[in-house]
Amino acid sequence: MIILLHGDDRQSTRAALLALKKKFSHLDLRVLNGKTADENALVQAIESPSVFGGSTGIIIENLLTSLGKKPKTAEHMGDILKRSAESATIILWEEKEMSPSMIRHLGSHVEVNLFKIPAVIFSFLDAIRPSNTIQLLSLYGKTLEHSPAELIFTLLARRLRTLVQLSGGLTPTGMAPWQLTRLTKQARFFTMEQIFTMEKQLLACEFAVKTGSSALTLSQHIERILVDL
């Protein structure tokens, strides 16, 4: 059996992985870092007998991600996994969405689970700017219908860090030209002080929620920050 967990919603993929660990807790579970594991490590983890005398399970993180530009190696590793799936349970966790061509290396019997961040959350992030409260709160409400407050908090903090970089004249790495253009335009709506104020508010609400010093939930704290913008 091969189970693939992939997509940009890491919180959901991690939750799914945790659920699978509990489901297969009766197996001799072995964990490999796919970014560093070579063929020998993979074969050894799969084929070495269980010390408990039972079946084995292999959890490999980011194997396909690391093979993105190595099609021949990906095909070879896929053949190993397909052969091994007859006697072991193999769980692949990938930090981003895999292409159909990459998934095909795993054969036709792989169980594919894709976790994508809902598109509405990006509309919400793009709408963050001063004096846009009505649209912002509307999109925030729609975003909460599909995503937990914890994910929204993480992506909001990440967006603010990007805006700080752009406002300071720095270009974030790994960003497509269209993304850079859009976010640079968004950064112009803010002063650096306004962005720093939002970051401080996020830190304060994170502390309040973690310590239980506030009666408000995380989603309510975020809403207050948006209203104050």
The predicted pLDDT at position 37 comes to: 86
The predicted pLDDT at position 177 comes to: 92
The predicted pLDDT at position 204 comes to: 95
Q: Per mean pLDDT, which range of 41-55, 59-73, 141-155, 200-214 is the poorest?
A: 41-55
Q: How far apart are CA 153 and CA 173, in angstroms?
A: 22
The predicted pLDDT at position 53 comes to: 67
Would you place residue 158 in the very low, low, confident or very high pLDDT band (cuts 50, 70, 90)? very high
Q: CA triplet 219, 225, 227: central angle to 5 degrees?
A: 105
- Backbone phi, psi, residue 160, to 5°: -65, -40
The predicted pLDDT at position 163 comes to: 96
Q: pLDDT exceeding 70 applies to what percent of the chain?
A: 99
pLDDT at 49 over 80: no
Mean of pLDDT over the chain: 92
Q: pLDDT exceeding 90 applies to what percent of the chain?
A: 76
Q: CA triplet 70, 67, 7: central angle to 5 degrees?
A: 135
Which tokens belong to 222?
């975020």
pLDDT at 207 over 90: yes
Alpha-carbon radius of gyration of the chain: 22
Taking residues 201-207, what's their average pLDDT? Answer: 95
Judge residue 63's burial from the number of C-beta atoms within 10 Å of its C-beta, 0-12 exposed, 13-18 middle, 19 or more buried: buried
CATH numbers and ranges of domains, the chain: 2-114 (3.40.50.300), 119-228 (1.20.272.10)
| CB of 34 closer than 8 Å to CB of 60 | yes
pLDDT at 71 over 90: no
Would you place residue 39 in the very low, low, confident or very high pLDDT band (cuts 50, 70, 90)? confident
pLDDT at 52 over 70: no
| CB of 139 closer than 8 Å to CB of 114 | no
| CB of 109 closer than 8 Å to CB of 2 | yes
At residue 29, the 3 state secondary structure works out as: strand
